[in-house]
Amino acid sequence: MLPQSDTIAAIATAPGRGGVGVIRVSGPAVVHIADAMVGGCPPPRHAAYRHFVDAQGEVLDNGLVLFFPGPASYTGEDVLELQGHGGPVVLDALLARLLALGCRAAEPGEFTRRAYENQRLDLSQAEAVADLIDAESLAAARAAQRSLSGAFSRRIESFCAELLSLRTWVEASIDFADEDIDFLADGEVAQRLSTLLSHLRALRQQTDRGRVLAEGLRVAIVGAPNVGKSSLLNALAGHDAAIVTDIAGTTRDVLRERVVLDGLPVLLLDTAGIRDTDDPVERIGVQRAWATLDDADVVLVMNTDGQPDVIETDPAFARLRGDTRLLRLQNKCDLTAGVVGPRSDGSLGLSILRDQGLTALIEALHQRAGLQSDVVGEFSARRRHLDAIDRALQGLEQAEAQLHVHQAPELLAEDLALANRVLGEINGPVDTETLLGAIFSSFCVGK
């Protein structure tokens, strides 16, 4: 962990040319730096027009200066923002002047990490900052804003408080085992534990929807060669992202395309046609296709309408039988006069050539993401949060077994403590420097 005694500086606006460029400074030397570079700090949270000067007093640029004294600032430290012209040469010259005055170039995400370490944000709120910046749809941005405002954090804090209260009952039963009062026999612990499990399972579903809004729904397209997988990718992407030919085996690697389908961020994964082949290059493509499927949220299985379902008839697809992520698509309905859209067997009829059935497919993807209804009230989340909730659920389910089956209050207390601890990891504090480094390294430098 880099020392907070350093004063850090970074360009906070995106690379390139623009009308305005922002440089952010945070740390104990802010007042000294403002005196040397802009003639002193303006009144807190009031913009002042100043000249930005070099060591010889020559003007490097001019613009607005904002001062946010700690702890009432983004990082919890004194913060200075210089808003000048957005040319890269000018911004680089201003940053070089700040470094000469004793600043250190900020690491990626270091401003937000300082906000977390100074308790201005908890960990899930800090992650929401990055999710808001990276949002690919208005729904995702609104969900990230709700997490940033603490909606998700408060839910987790509520669960942790209820778990702590429940643990006190169990610990009391252990500590006063020789008394006539049996805290576990009156049914209150069992009822509270059952309610907590029910509510946490509901939160898990909502968290998964939040993860989809933040990261995108991973949708793999698989099928035999030449059934229209690449054509579907191009149709959903709105441009020719993949090469389409009548030659089987054209797609040799996994093609990735990020799209937004009616507000739903989606990562489309077009895989090589799955079949047994002697071509060594195509065989590698098939292996990569299977590897891609392991991490997909939805698997679109492409068939040619009127032909046998490859999942049931082709041994190469046997491992997909019974997979709950599958959505079967019957393409080329224009050749068979088949039903376009949802069918009674659960499949969807398409004609990619005629642009038919795509609306029904998009609606089905929204349903699979759990976002078929209004997303107001959703929050952004990450796989890390899901993993913590899953471990907490496992702990609570084990606790329920300790209560009803094994009647072991000591083990019940341990399982409740485990669930409490892993849920607490969502908002922090987190002990591992590696985890914090991984989280904040994904941020832009100026955040």
pLDDT, tens digit (0-9, with 9 covering 90-100), for 103-132: 999 998 899 999 999 999 999 999 999 888
Class of residue 373 by CB neighbours under 10 A (exposed 0-12, middle 13-18, buried 19+): exposed
pTM: 0.76
Cα–Cα distance for residue pair 36/55, rounded to 1 Å = 8
Whether residue 325 contacts residue 299, with contact meaning beta carbons closer than 8 Å, is answered with yes
Cα–Cα distance for residue pair 172/207, rounded to 1 Å = 33
Class of residue 312 by CB neighbours under 10 A (exposed 0-12, middle 13-18, buried 19+): exposed
Which of 203, 273, 209 is CA-nearest to residue 242?
A: 273
Supply the pLDDT for residue 153: 93
Residues of the chain with pLDDT under 70: 1-4, 172-186, 239-254, 272-287, 316, 372-377, 429-447
Which of 277, 345, 341, 339 is CA-nearest to residue 311?
A: 345
Whether residue 188 contacts residue 182, with contact meaning beta carbons closer than 8 Å, is answered with no
Cα–Cα distance for residue pair 30/67, rounded to 1 Å = 9
Query: What are the structural domains of the chain?
Result: 8-121 (3.30.1360.120), 151-213+382-427 (1.20.120.430), 224-369 (3.40.50.300)
Whether residue 291 contacts residue 319, with contact meaning beta carbons closer than 8 Å, is answered with no
Q: Provide the total of helices (H) and of strands (E) in the chain, helices listed first.
A: 14, 13
Supply the pLDDT for residue 252: 46
Supply the pLDDT for residue 397: 92
Cα–Cα distance for residue pair 189/167, rounded to 1 Å = 9
Q: pLDDT of 290-343, one tens digit each?
A: 777 778 899 998 888 888 887 787 776 777 777 788 899 999 998 888 889 999
Class of residue 354 by CB neighbours under 10 A (exposed 0-12, middle 13-18, buried 19+): exposed
Radius of gyration of the chain (CA): 28
Supply the pLDDT for residue 36: 95
Cα–Cα distance for residue pair 43/22, rounded to 1 Å = 19
**To 10 degrees, what angle do helices 138-148 and 188-215 make?**
130
Whether residue 329 contacts residue 356, with contact meaning beta carbons closer than 8 Å, is answered with no
3-state SS class at 73: coil
Cα–Cα distance for residue pair 298/53, rounded to 1 Å = 56
DSSP run (H or E) holding 61: strand 59-68
Supply the pLDDT for residue 105: 95
Cα–Cα distance for residue pair 111/444, rounded to 1 Å = 10
Whether residue 131 contacts residue 144, with contact meaning beta carbons closer than 8 Å, is answered with yes
- CA 443 to each of CA 87, 162, 332, 431, 439: distance values in angstroms, whole numbers, following the listed order: 22, 33, 44, 20, 8
CB atoms within 10 A of CB 12: 20
